[in-house]
Amino acid sequence: MKLTIPREILLVGKGHAGTFLARDGKKDVLGFFAMACGATEDQLLGRVMLMKDGAHYANDVSTHDLPNIPEDVMILDSTLFYLADMNDAPHLSERDRERLLMEGFEKMNVVVKFVGDYPRTWYDGA
């Protein structure tokens, strides 16, 4: 499976408190993955985590609700947690975040490509 993620709409949190699959027209990496597997944006809005074996909390989404997961994609909750952690780790540069996310998705047989410019942040004077 190939997944393209536009940087300008990638939602990056500030640790676990900022995690959402989709919010304000943006999605985190698991939100992009879920939509590529058939989820709708409405299913993801305000939801916090994607889980393999069913939602643990009311605001989680289960992979069982995704109708189009390719057969060669290997999903483990540990990999989903890793991807969520790397997506929202406040100490990572954009390049390091992308490298770690690509490595995590590789474990699931998903090839990720990030496209577009990095959004300006307060770090670079925006």
Q: What's residue 121's pLDDT?
A: 59
**How far is the C-alpha of 100 from the C-alpha of 121, rounded, in Å?**
20
Angle at 11 between CA 79 and CA 82, to 5 degrees: 15
pTM for the whole structure: 0.88
Quick one: pLDDT at residue 56? 63
| pLDDT tens column, 7-50 | 999 988 765 555 578 888 889 999 999 999 999 988 888 888 88
- Those residues with Cβ within 8 angstroms of residue 109's Cβ, 6 or more apart along the chain or in another chain: 1, 70, 72, 73, 74
Instruction: Report the C-alpha gap between 98 and 95 in whole angstroms.
Output: 5
pLDDT single digits (tens) 105-124:
999 999 999 999 987 654 44
